[in-house]
A and B are shown apart, each in its own frame.
Chain A
Amino acid sequence: MAHALIEKYKGHLLATALTAGVLGLLVLWLGYQYRDFITGNVLLYTLLKIIAILVPLLLAVAYLTYAERKIIGYMQVRIGPNRVGPRGWLQPIADAMKLLFKEIIFPTNANRFLFVVAPMLSIAPALAAWAVFPFTDTLVLANIDASLLYILALTSVGVYGVIIAGWASNSKYAFLGAMRSAAQIVSYEIAMGFALVGVLIAGGSLNLVEIVEAQQGSFLHWFWLPLFPLFLVYFISGVAETNRAPFDVAEGESEIVAGFHVEYSGMAFAVFFLAEYANMILIAALAALMFLGGWLSPFEGTWFEAWFAWVPAIFWMLAKTALMLLFFLWFRATFPRYRYDQIMRLGWKVFIPITIVWLVVEAAAVMAGIGPWFV
Chain B
Amino acid sequence: MDFERILFFLFATVLIYAAGRVITVRNPIHAALHLVLAFFTCAALWLLLEAEFLAITLVLVYVGAVMVLFLFVVMMLDINTSPLREGFIRYLPLGLGVAFVIVSEMYLVVRARNFGADVIAIPERHPEGYSNVKELGNVLYTDYVYPFEIAAVILLVAIIAAIALTMRKRPETKYQNPAQQVAVKAKDRVRIVEMKAEEKQ
Please report A residues at the B interface, Cβ cutoff 8 Å.
Answer: 114, 144-146, 149-150, 152-154, 156-157, 159-160, 163-164, 167, 175, 178-179, 182-183, 185-186, 189, 206, 341-342, 345
Contacts and interface: CB of A to CB of B under 8 A. Distances in A.
Nearest to A159: B68
B69 interface: yes
25 contacts: A145-B132, A146-B52, A146-B53, A146-B56, A146-B132, A149-B57, A149-B133, A150-B56, A153-B56, A153-B59, A156-B63, A157-B59, A159-B68, A160-B68, A163-B71, A163-B72, A167-B29, A179-B72, A179-B75, A182-B68, A182-B72, A185-B68, A186-B65, A186-B68, A341-B176
B36 interface: yes
A144 B131 CA distance: 10
Contacts of A189: 64-65
A354 to B, nearest CB: 16
A256 to B, nearest CB: 16
Given A146-B53, A189-B64, A206-B133, A345 B178 contact: yes
B133 A156 contact: no
A163 B65 contact: no
Contacts of B68: 159-160, 163, 182, 185-186
Contacts of A341: 176
> Chain B interface secondary structure, helix, strand, loop or mixed?
helix
Nearest to B75: A167
B168 to A, nearest CB: 19
Interface in B36-73: 36, 52-53, 56-57, 59-60, 63-65, 68-69, 71-72
A153 B75 contact: no
Given A186-B69, A341-B176, A345-B178, A149 B53 contact: yes
A342 B178 contact: yes
Contacts of A145: 52, 131-133
B19 interface: no
A342 B181 CA distance: 11
Contacts of A178: 75
Contacts of B71: 160, 163, 167, 182
Contacts of A182: 68, 71-72
A157 B53 contact: no
A179 B73 CA distance: 10
Nearest to B63: A157
Most buried by A among B64, B69, B72, B176: B64
Given A153-B57, A157-B64, A163-B71, 12 more contacts: A146-B53, A149-B133, A153-B56, A153-B60, A153-B64, A160-B36, A178-B75, A182-B71, A186-B65, A186-B68, A341-B176, A342-B178
Contacts of B63: 153, 156-157
Interface of B: 29, 33, 36, 52-53, 56-57, 59-60, 63-65, 68-69, 71-72, 75-76, 131-133, 176, 178
A167 B30 CA distance: 11
Contacts of B65: 156, 186, 189
A183 B75 CA distance: 13
A115 to B, nearest CB: 13
Nearest to B29: A167
A156 B43 CA distance: 15
Contact of B75 (A149, A160, A175): A175
Contacts of A167: 29, 71, 75
Contact of A146 (B36, B64, B133): B133
Contacts of A150: 56
Contacts of B29: 167
Contact of B64 (A114, A159, A179, A345): A159
Contacts of A114: 33
Contacts of B57: 149, 153
Nearest to B176: A341
Nearest to A158: B64
A219 to B, nearest CB: 29
B7 to A, nearest CB: 14
A186 B57 CA distance: 15
A296 B63 CA distance: 35
The 7 closest A-B CB pairs, nearest first, are A156-B64, A153-B60, A153-B59, A149-B56, A153-B56, A167-B75, A145-B131
A168 to B, nearest CB: 9
Contacts of A186: 65, 68-69
A342 B57 CA distance: 30
Most buried by A among B36, B60, B72, B132: B60
A204 B16 CA distance: 38
Contacts of B33: 114, 164
Nearest to A162: B68
Contacts of B131: 145
